[in-house]
């Protein structure tokens, strides 16, 4: 677990621009993009569906105003096959919750599932049957969920590690969901979604310092940066595996990695 925690923490540090190439499905909530069902998502509704509208470019899902009618968005199939590192990101503001309602869920056909549901100021893991994190309602937070083995996951809130948990095996196929997930006990909410993104990263590969899936001359500049300014490298390639620059696997990126990098690059 310490090793998993360390790796996932590195994956969450800094800006996430390097993940842009790895989103296989996302929703950027701007009126010009339309509603999620216009962007490849399936809309699931109960009781007619919650009221929806755009506010300052974000999508508001308002179920109390429609007598507790909910709606969420689903994409199937979920995780592409052959990928080892999964990441979900969403920017969300929770304004009002009756019981527990808005949330995000991920299920892997070859692994487990995680379902995170928001109360007014806490996040509940439905699979683990416990509250796992707290947050401040009424303001936007940036959330990330990362799994490197499809068995455990890490939850980050505003870039800080908030919880490390276990996925629970579900008899489901692969899918991702977000929106008003709860349907019982009078659950309702007002939640505002700025974006919801789901992506994968190629498995660790020594020498693939820019994490584009191959080792080539495009890795030279990132390797030099990792060698001379590790913090700047992590900020620029925040979605990349740290081991990829530690070519000789001695736990640090230094001059001892230069010759092994050249060998990997030219082999």
Per-run averaged pLDDT (10 residues), the chain, 267 residues: 34 39 79 87 83 92 73 76 74 92 85 89 93 96 86 89 87 82 74 90 79 83 90 74 84 90 90
Backbone conformation region of residue 115, classed left if phi is above 0, alpha if psi is from -120 to 50, else beta: beta
Q: Which residue has the tokens 């990349």?
A: 240
Q: For residues 63 and 32, give the distance between their C-alpha atoms in angstroms, rounded to a whole number.
A: 23
CATH number at residue 67: 2.60.120.200
256 in the same domain as 126: no
**Domain contains 210:** no
Q: In what order do the strands lie in the sheet with 102-107?
A: 42-46, 70-75, 175-180, 102-107, 113-118, 122-125, 130-134
pLDDT of residue 16: 37
Is 131 in contact with 118 (CB distance < 8 Å)? no
Instruction: Identify the pLDDT of residue 159.
Output: 84
Please identify, among 201, 227, 242, the residue that sits at the C-terminal boundary of a domain. 201
Does residue 51 sit in the same domain as residue 110?
A: yes
**Same domain membership, residue 236 and residue 121:** no
Q: What is the largest CA-CA distance in the chain?
A: 66
Task: Establish if 74 belongs to a structural domain.
Answer: yes
33 and 108 in a single domain? The answer is yes
pLDDT at 26: 86
Q: Are residues 248 and 165 located together in one domain of the fold?
A: no
Residue 209 lies in a domain: no
Same domain, 189 and 223: no
User: What pLDDT is recorded for position 174?
Assistant: 80
Under a CB-based contact definition with an 8 Å cutoff, are residues 165 and 132 in contact? yes
pLDDT of 182 reads 72
**Under DSSP, is residue 119 helix (H, G, I), strand (E, B) or coil?**
coil
| Containing structural domain, residue 54 | 2-201
Given a contact cutoff of 8 angstroms between Cβ atoms, the answer to whether 211 and 240 are in contact is yes
Which of 201, 228, 245 represents a domain boundary (last residue)?
201
């Amino acid at each position: 677990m310490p090793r998993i925690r360390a790796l996932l923490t590195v994956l969450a540090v800094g800006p996430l621009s390097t993940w842009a190439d790895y989103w296989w499905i996302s929703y950027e909530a701007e009126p010009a993009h339309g509603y999620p069902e216009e962007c490849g998502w399936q809309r699931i509704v109960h009781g007619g569906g919650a009221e929806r509208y755009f506010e300052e470019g974000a999508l508001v899902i308002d179920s109390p105003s429609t007598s507790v009618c909910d709606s969420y968005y689903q994409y199937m199939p979920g995780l592409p096959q052959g990928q080892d590192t999964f990441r979900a990101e969403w920017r969300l503001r929770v304004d009002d919750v009756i019981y527990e309602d808005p949330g995000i869920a991920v299920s892997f056909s070859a692994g487990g599932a995680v379902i995170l549901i928001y109360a007014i100021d806490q996040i509940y893991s439905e699979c683990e049957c416990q509250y796992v994190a707290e947050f401040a309602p009424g303001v936007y937070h940036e959330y990330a969920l990362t799994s490197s083995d499809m068995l455990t996951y890490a939850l980050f809130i505003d870039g800080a590690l908030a919880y490390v948990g276990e996925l629970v095996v579900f008899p489901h196929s692969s899918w991702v969901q977000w929106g008003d997930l709860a349907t019982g006990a009078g659950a309702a909410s007002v939640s505002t979604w700025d974006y919801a993104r789901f992506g994968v990263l190629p498995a660790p590969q020594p020498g693939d310092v820019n994490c584009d899936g191959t080792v080539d001359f495009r890795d030279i500049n990132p390797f030099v940066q990792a060698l001379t300014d590790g913090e700047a490298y992590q900020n620029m390639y925040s979605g990349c595996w740290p081991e990829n620059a530690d070519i000789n696997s001695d736990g640090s990126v230094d001059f001892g990695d230069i010759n092994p990098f050249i060998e990997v690059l030219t082999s």
